[in-house]
Amino acid sequence: MFDCADVEMRELLPELAAGTLDDATRARVQRHVATCAECASELETLHLVRSAYAVAPTVNVQRIVAALPQPAPLAKHARVGHGVTRWIDWRVAAALTMISVGGLSLALVHRQSGEPAPRDSVAAVPTVDSQRVQPAERAVAGVSPSGAHDTTRPANPPGRVTAAARPKAQLVFAGGMEDMDDASIKALLGALDELDHAPVAPSEEPDPTPVLPVIGTSQP
Amino acid sequence: MTRMAQDHEPDDDSTDLELIARWNAGDERAATSLVARHAPALARFAVSLGQRTDVDEVVQDTFVRAFGSLHSFRADSSLRTWLFTIERRLILDRRRAARRRRDDASVDDADAATEFDALDEIVAEEAESRVRKAVDQLSRLQKEVFLLRVNEGLSYKEIAEIVGSTEGAARVHYHNAMRAVKESLYV
């Protein structure tokens, strides 16, 4: 008793016997079986097994169906869908509230505390006096925007540039968002992004801002 | 290679998934189609597992359990494979319960040869009776794999899912079973 060496054909024999092959594959396997004694013998065995187990007790379909649990009513699905929608609505409302409260709080904090905004961000805000927020190197060194020495403005001693020494930004947030045009909102959002990235150093701690050289001072 | 559907109800060409969706939507006729489509195969499988009595009850319990958790049915396997898996567990549970009640190992590989006595009354032909004897001498797992492959034309992957094995192990079980059956019949 030998097995056919064509593994693919042999593996398809049960499906040929069960009638689950498509037409093209069935024809291909049948052609092989016609020329292969081993596969023909195995197919005969398969048919014998199938016929031996073909007789099965009949089942009463209606009795089984009557015993089944009831299908989920449509209303239940509808309630589920409504619940999901309500949950999403709640999340959207919460997110909008958080954004509104957070943005307003941030603006109020900046307005009331007088905390200067970092120089880079201030330059991007339209409401800021551009003459006062020129590059901090110039301000710290007492150099006017025009290049002349500005003796009216106190220059910090050489060393650190602290937050207190930075020019104050006039980050004004009067009224609501609806009062601002698109450009203003965009600029404000840019400024807020910059605030997130700007280093904030307590005055008593070393400021991470690099030491800037004093340019052209008349001090000895 | 495309496998064709079996035992489909002639007047309903809907797929299993479509029928499940209809049943979930409240269409009880979809349940009739699903039961009529799969009940014969489940009855055959129950018999092939050695279920001599209460086959109708086993098939009914299978459908009741399946429809009770139809929401957990994953479409990555066929409904029939899933039903076979449920039925197999049910039959094994019933055997364990019966064994506990009788306090003996009533149904096992060792006494499998006694299982076909009642079925012999149904299958009169001597050749088929010899086949039954040959198949019933297989181990339980070999028999399950062999008959799922031969009678239902299931793939090794589907069989592995039903019996809780691997595809490769199912292939080995099938070929060992085939060899044993042929030796029993022809040697």
Give the best-scoring range by mean pLDDT among A27-31, A109-113, A126-130: A27-31
What is the structure's pLDDT at A16? Answer: 92
Å from A51 to nearest chain B CA? 7
Whether the per-residue pLDDT at A60 is higher than 70: the answer is: yes
**Which tokens hold the place of B44?**
């055959």
Q: How much is the average pLDDT of A65-84? A: 60
* pLDDT tens readout for residues B163-172: 999 999 999 9
A156 touches A148 (CB < 8 A): no
d(CA B77, CA B107): 30
Whether the per-residue pLDDT at B64 is higher than 70: the answer is: yes
Cross-chain residue pair A45–B182, CB shorter than 8 Å: yes
Residue A94: band (very low, low, confident or very high) from pLDDT cuts 50, 70, 90:
low
Residue A58: band (very low, low, confident or very high) from pLDDT cuts 50, 70, 90:
confident
Percent helix, strand and coil across chain B, each to the nearest 5: 70, 0, 30
Instruction: Say how many CB pairs under 8 Å bridge A and B.
Output: 141
Nearest residue of chain A to residue B171 (CA atoms): A11
What is the structure's pLDDT at B98? Answer: 81
What is the structure's pLDDT at B146? Answer: 94
In a mutagenesis test of the B interface, which of A23, A39, A61 is the best target, namely the one with the most B β-carbons within 10 Å? A61
- For tokens 């929608």, what's the residue? A85
Window B:87-106, CB contacts with A under 8 Å:
none
H-type helices in A19-113, by residue range? 23-35, 37-52, 61-67, 74-113
Question: Nearest Cβ partner of A53 from B4, B44, B185?
Answer: B44
Closest CA to B119 of A45, A57, A44: A57
**Residues of chain B contacting residue A15, judged by C-beta atoms under 8 Å apart:** 3, 153
Q: How much is the average pLDDT of A204-214? A: 46
Q: Does B149 touch chain A (CB under 8 A)?
A: yes
Cross-chain residue pair A48–B36, CB shorter than 8 Å: no
Those residues with Cβ within 8 angstroms of residue B125's Cβ, 6 or more apart along the chain or in another chain: none
Whether the per-residue pLDDT at A167 is higher than 50: the answer is: no
Question: Nearest Cβ partner of A18 from B1, B60, B152?
Answer: B152
B23 touches B31 (CB < 8 A): yes
Cross-chain residue pair B47–A64, CB shorter than 8 Å: no
- Ranking A126-140, B17-31, B40-54, B139-153 by mean pLDDT, the lowest is A126-140
* pLDDT tens readout for residues B73-116: 877 778 999 999 999 999 989 888 887 776 654 445 444 444 45
Cross-chain residue pair B32–A62, CB shorter than 8 Å: yes
In a mutagenesis test of the A interface, which of B87, B178, B179 is the best target, namely the one with the most A β-carbons within 10 Å? B178
Whether the per-residue pLDDT at A159 is higher than 60: the answer is: no
Amino acid at A126: P
d(CA A10, CA A16): 10
Amino acid at B135: V
- Ranking A86-95, A134-143, B165-174 by mean pLDDT, the lowest is A134-143
Q: Does B145 touch chain A (CB under 8 A)?
A: no
* pLDDT tens readout for residues B123-173: 445 777 888 889 989 999 999 999 999 988 899 999 999 999 999 999 999
- Ranking A5-9, A146-150, B101-105, B176-180 by mean pLDDT, the lowest is A146-150
Q: What's CA A19's distance to the chain center, in Å?
A: 50
